[in-house]
Chains A and B, each alone.
Chain A
Amino acid sequence: MNLRYFITKVIGRLVLVLISIVFLVPIFWMFTTSIKDMSEVMTYPPIWWPNPPKWHNYIEAVNYIPFGRYTLNTIIITIGNIAGVLFSAPLVAYSISRIRWRGRNILFMLILSTVLIPFPVIMIPVFIVFARLGWINTFRPLIIPAFFGGGAFNIFLLRQFFMTIPEELSDAARIDGASEFGIYSRIMLPLIKPILIVISLFTFLGAWNDFMGPLIYLQDEAKYTLSLGLQMYRSTNYVEWPLLMAAATIVVIPTIIAFYFTQNTIVESVTLTGLKG
Chain B
Amino acid sequence: MKAISARRNTLYGLLFALPWIIGFLAFTAYPILASLYYSLTEFVGIGIPKWIGSGNYKALMNDELFWKSLYNTIYYVGLAVPIGFVVGLGLALLLNMDLKEVGIYRTLVYIPYVLPAVVVGFIWLWMLNPYFGLLNLFLNTVFHIQGPGWFSDPKWAKPAFVMLAQWGAGGSAVIFLAAIKDVPRELLESAEIDGAGWWTKFSKIIIPMISPVILYHIITALFGGFQIFTTAYIATNGGPANSTLFYVLYLYRSAFQYSKMGYASAMAWILFILVLILTLIIFRTSARWVFYRGGGE
- Chain A interface (Cβ within 8 Å of chain B)? 8-9, 12-13, 15-17, 19-20, 23-27, 29-30, 33, 41-46, 87-88, 91-92, 94-96, 99-104, 107, 110-111, 114-129, 131, 145, 147-150, 155, 180, 184, 205, 208-209, 211-212, 215-216, 227, 230-231, 239, 241, 244-245, 248, 251-252, 255-256, 258-260, 262-263, 266-267, 270-271, 274-277
Contacts and interface: CB of A to CB of B under 8 A. Distances in A.
B10 A103 contact: yes
Nearest to A174: B5
Contacts of B272: 117-118, 121
A270 B134 contact: no
A30 B20 contact: no
| CB-based closest 9 A-B pairs | A148-B23, A101-B13, A277-B212, A125-B34, A95-B16, A122-B31, A209-B116, A92-B20, A125-B31
Nearest to A149: B23
B291 interface: yes
A91 B20 contact: yes
Interface of B: 6, 9-10, 12-24, 26-28, 30-32, 34-35, 38, 45-46, 91, 94-95, 97-99, 102, 104-112, 114-119, 122-127, 131-132, 134, 137, 141, 167, 170, 174-175, 177-179, 181-182, 209-213, 216, 223, 226-227, 229-230, 233-234, 248, 251-252, 255-256, 261, 264-265, 267-269, 271-272, 275-276, 279, 290-293, 297
B44 to A, nearest CB: 10
A122 B248 CA distance: 13
B165 to A, nearest CB: 13
Given A124-B38, A211-B233, 4 more contacts: A33-B126, A46-B137, A120-B271, A128-B34
Contacts of A122: 27-28, 31-32, 35
Contacts of B230: 211-212
Given A16-B95, A121-B268, A252-B115, A99 B12 contact: yes
B116 A121 contact: no
B32 A16 contact: no
A121 B137 contact: no
Contacts of B118: 209, 211, 227, 230-231
Given A9-B97, A25-B134, A275 B19 contact: no
B178 A94 contact: no
Contacts of A45: 137, 141
B293 to A, nearest CB: 5
Contacts of B279: 116
Given A118-B271, A122-B32, A252-B119, A26 B112 contact: yes
22 contacts: A20-B104, A26-B127, A26-B134, A44-B137, A45-B141, A96-B13, A99-B16, A101-B14, A120-B252, A121-B31, A124-B265, A149-B20, A205-B114, A208-B116, A211-B118, A211-B230, A227-B116, A241-B126, A252-B116, A255-B115, A259-B110, A259-B114
Given A33-B126, A100-B9, A277-B211, A42 B112 contact: no
Contacts of B181: 267, 271
A119 B141 CA distance: 43
B163 to A, nearest CB: 11
Question: DSSP majority for the B interface?
Answer: helix
B13 A95 contact: yes
Given A110-B24, A275-B212, A87 B95 contact: no
A155 B124 CA distance: 34
Nearest to B183: A276
Contact of B123 (A128, A248, A258): A248
Contacts of B14: 95, 101, 103
Contacts of B46: 131
Contact of A16 (B26, B99, B226): B99
